[in-house]
Structure 1
Amino acid sequence: MMKALIEFHFYLALITLMPTWYQRDCIEEERLSKHAHYRRQSEHYQAKRKLVRALWTGTGTLMLIFPTPPLMVGGLLFSTCLSFAILDESK
């Protein structure tokens, strides 16, 4: 009971503090530029995220197969740099 009461008050505080665009679950197609996360909803960005997820899965598998510190650090730094390059907003 107490947990539900705390969650209710937290939800009320969240509604009053967050902006109105954050409260909407669906994003209208005709007003995409008004929403803060319109870029994340595009199919192009979703494809980029799948590519980055595959990159990190491959890097993690490589780290599990060869658990040496130089390979782990090098793979981690390379994957991070490549992920930022793939998900970059510039064209």
Structure 2
Amino acid sequence: MDRNVSVGSGERLLEELVRAAHLASPAELPVVLNRYVEAMGLGRAVIYLIDIQQRLLVPLVEGEPELELDTRWPDGPTGPTLSEWKKAPPAG
């Protein structure tokens, strides 16, 4: 956060952002988010949506790259994917 933005004003801006996001349409979200990101001195932000297979993050606005997700366990490529893990019975 910008050092010129106090914790109190940062919290206020975050509350305003959440309130504004609830009132905004999906198409308005990037504009709303960037208004508050700039006010907080954080540079810029991008909103991503996950695809239905949960393997790719797709930007809400054009001009940003799609991001592939690595859903494997940290122990390597042989571990289950996140989708497989969600289907597994609980341990214990």
Q: Please, what TM-score do these two structures have when normalized by structure 2?
A: 0.36
Higher RCO (CA 8 Å, separation ≥ 6 residues): 1
- Please state which structure has a larger fraction of its residues in helix: 1
- Please state which structure has a larger fraction of its residues in strand: 2
Higher Cα radius of gyration? 1
